[in-house]
A and B are shown apart, each in its own frame.
Chain A
Amino acid sequence: MGNEAQPADATQSVDFQQVQQSEQFRELRRRHRSFVFPMAVAFLLWYFGYVLLADYAVGFMSIKLWGNINVGLVLGLLQFATTFGITAWYVSYSNRKLDPIAADIRGEIEGHGFESRGQAAGAVRAASAGEAAKGAQR
């Protein structure tokens, strides 16, 4: 059970608030959110724009472009294309901009870079981490 997503021994004494406030982590969070939020908004707008067109602009969607291929079919296939495109873009962005910095922070935490200093704060965390760790043993 070495790969549980809950506090293992190595991370029990970590001061996560200290990590959260570190320059490096804030940069990771900024990079992540500045990609996923605008992208999520963009594809949702594009999808609902398309659904609105299909619902309320049937005439426009029925315009034939080549043979029997109409605007509606082209826009529909473009939904597939953008879905594949955003997927590929996100993977490449993560590989370049997110994974290396996440690995750095992980290495630092696991190498005891963010040990907690305050005794009281540590006790609170140990209690809550212990509760979660019980779950991990199951």
Chain B
Amino acid sequence: MSGMAFSGAVPMVNVGALKDTTLLNMGIFALFVLVTMVIVFRASRNNKTAADYYAAGRSFTGSQNGTAIAGDYLSAASFLGITGAIAINGYDGFLYSIGFLVAWLVALLLVAELLRNTGKFTMADVLSFRLRQRPVRIAAALSTLAVCFFYLLAQMAGAGSLISLLLGISDWGGQALVIVVVGALMIMYVLIGGMKGTTWVQIIKAVLLICGAAVMTLWVLSIYGFNLSNLLGSAAEAANNPNVLNPGLQYGKSETSKLDFMSLGLALVLGTAALPHVLMRFYTVPTAKEARKSVVWSIWLIGLFYLFTLVLGYGAAALVGADTIKAAPGGVNSAAPLLAFHLGGPLLLGFISAVAFATILAVVAGLTITAAASFAHDIYANVIAKGKADAGTEVKVARRTVVVIGILAILGGIFANGQNVAFLVALAFAVAASANLPTIVYSLFWRKFTTQGAVWSMYGGLASAIVLIALSPVVSGAKTSMIQGANFAVFPLSNPGIVSIPLAFFLGWLGTVLDKRGEDPAKQAEMEVRSLTGVGAEKAVEH
């Protein structure tokens, strides 16, 4: 990026001034926590059954759930990361957001409704519907836990660097303390509120985030007379590099990086619809039609939001300047907060900072309840207790799991703080696309699919994605690697999807055609009829 020398012509933001707003940021964040806690308490009063705890009693409407999905999906990586990527790398940051949006068509067309009709609480419910329960459930639960773990670790580690930026806390101990606070709040939300509380936190956060981004977008556009071309021109001028408007600044450096982007694109598009915490949200609505409405709402909200980030990213490049952003604490991630400060001073910065905190909180809450549900429902109730555990015990196990996962997330976040773990989000998508999506698609649409195919595909996809990442330059052998001073990077790409996803599809096919045991055609018929008609799943809420 040597071609992006700072021209000096753009107005500077005084980075030191950010620290003066710490108290205001904390105040606004405390208000958010207070309001959401009250709502979580009120919402959780009727939590009695497992369906209440895991699936919010299936009482949310499509529009509520769609907003919550947007709140779950638009992580700090989307908001701060993509705005920053556009501000620094221009067009290539935008390219990233398109993959995140288009992916929702897979969820809409192939997954959401059919899944709502055939499952109850977890992804494993669907995958084991017509196959042998034990092996498929264990495999699906393991891949669910793996995806949640990678995603959770990325969010918690991100919380540390975000805090150094937003609260001006730069020492390790202070950041660790804030990670503990974030983790403890998350445990409280999920423990008390279950899925209902988690959903409300996500809805409130989504509304705040999208409104905040909308205000900033209109503000930036108004500076340029609502003329996108003027904004782009100003951004290119500030960067002193017309290529920020063209693709290739980040991914076009070499043939390897081009291939790497293809691999990332594949994982983004096919991984989204197989993220367990997204899938679980479809169970919080009463019918498949509401599940469809959820996806429609989330597509509109997420699409709108990514359009905002295009303006915000170029706006930050034009008004703040790439060099100021890179020099600020938090680096690339500081583009959106610095832009907020430039536009609206301390108050807007405080609001946007609080929204960024809320974002981390809402996303980790969603991941935690998904992981806890998968452990309690799939591994404990169906495998360890062999289906003999009663509902009360299962929910009790789920609640304990929440505490364990919360503590693990806090410890992981503290130790990963300062490490380069940005690849973990991409890894979570790659694992979801490799380990989960082939089996979801096969079991919904391929009559002959068998248990052996599912198990081979899930373990093959999970193992290949993780092994390839371990052998890639993100872990060793490059300047930005996680482990310095070692080089075992035999796989050249940072994204394993282009190999692991086709491999998992192939293994699912191979395992099926080599399987001597067929599956019960009656269960296949039942799953197909249920998935398309919603019979047995479509009655009105009766409690």
Chain B residues 155 to 211 lying within 8 A of chain A, measured CB to CB, are: none
B241 at the interface (CB under 8 A from A): no
Contact B299 A17 (CB under 8 A): no
User: Which of A40, A61, A121 contacts B105 (CB under 8 A)?
Assistant: A40
B492 at the interface (CB under 8 A from A): no
Main DSSP-derived SS at the B contact region: helix
C-beta contact mask, B363-387 vs A, less than 8 Å → 1, else 0? 0000000000000010001100001
C-beta contact mask, B103-126 vs A, less than 8 Å → 1, else 0? 011101110000011111000010
The minimal Cβ–Cβ distance linking B105 to chain A, given in whole angstroms, is: 5
A34 at the interface (CB under 8 A from B): no
Contact A3 B542 (CB under 8 A): yes
User: Which of A36, A55, A106 contacts B109 (CB under 8 A)?
Assistant: A36
* Bound-complex Cα distance A70 to B91 (A): 11
Contact A67 B542 (CB under 8 A): no
* Bound-complex Cα distance A8 to B296 (A): 29
Contact B110 A6 (CB under 8 A): no
Contact B51 A1 (CB under 8 A): yes
Q: Given that A87-B296, A131-B387 are known contacts, is A69 also in contact with B228, CB under 8 Å in the complex?
A: yes
User: Which of B94, B102, B251, B530 contacts A47 (CB under 8 A)?
Assistant: B102
Chain A residues 1 to 48 lying within 8 A of chain B, measured CB to CB, are: 1-8, 10-11, 14, 16-17, 19-20, 25, 28-29, 32-33, 35-36, 39-40, 43-44, 47-48
Q: Which residues of A contact B521 (CB under 8 A)?
A: 17
A134 at the interface (CB under 8 A from B): yes
Chain B residues 513 to 543 lying within 8 A of chain A, measured CB to CB, are: 520-523, 525-526, 528-530, 532-543
Q: Which residues of B contact A80 (CB under 8 A)?
A: 98, 101, 303, 306-307
Q: Which residues of B contact A5 (CB under 8 A)?
A: 116-120, 125, 530, 536-537
Q: Which residues of A contact B245 (CB under 8 A)?
A: 62, 68, 70, 72-73
Contact B252 A58 (CB under 8 A): yes
Q: Which residues of A contact B99 (CB under 8 A)?
A: 47, 51
Using CB atoms, name the residue of chain B closest to A58. B248
Q: Given that A4-B51, A6-B536, A68-B232 are known contacts, is A16 also in contact with B526, CB under 8 Å in the complex?
A: yes
A96 at the interface (CB under 8 A from B): no
Contact B247 A39 (CB under 8 A): no
B300 at the interface (CB under 8 A from A): yes
Interface residues on A, range: 35 or more
Contact B236 A136 (CB under 8 A): no
* Bound-complex Cα distance A83 to B331 (A): 32
* Bound-complex Cα distance A109 to B540 (A): 16
Q: Which residues of A contact B91 (CB under 8 A)?
A: 54, 61, 72-73, 76
Q: Which residues of A contact B84 (CB under 8 A)?
A: none
Q: Which residues of A contact B109 (CB under 8 A)?
A: 35-36, 39-40, 86, 90
Chain B residues 234 to 281 lying within 8 A of chain A, measured CB to CB, are: 236, 243, 245-248, 251-252, 258, 261-262, 265-266, 269
Q: Given that A40-B109, A55-B251, A56-B258 are known contacts, is A10 also in contact with B525, CB under 8 Å in the complex?
A: no
Chain A residues 107 to 138 lying within 8 A of chain B, measured CB to CB, are: 109-110, 121, 124-125, 128, 131-132, 134-138
Q: Can you list 10 A-B pairs with a CB-CB distance of less than 8 A? A: A39-B109, A72-B247, A73-B245, A79-B102, A80-B307, A83-B299, A83-B303, A87-B105, A90-B109, A109-B533
Which chain B residues have a beta carbon within 8 Å of chain A's beta carbons?
49-51, 58, 91-92, 94-95, 98-99, 101-102, 104-106, 108-110, 116-120, 125, 129, 133, 227-230, 232-233, 236, 243, 245-248, 251-252, 258, 261-262, 265-266, 269, 286, 289, 292, 295-296, 299-300, 303, 306-307, 377, 381-382, 387, 389-391, 394, 445, 520-523, 525-526, 528-530, 532-543
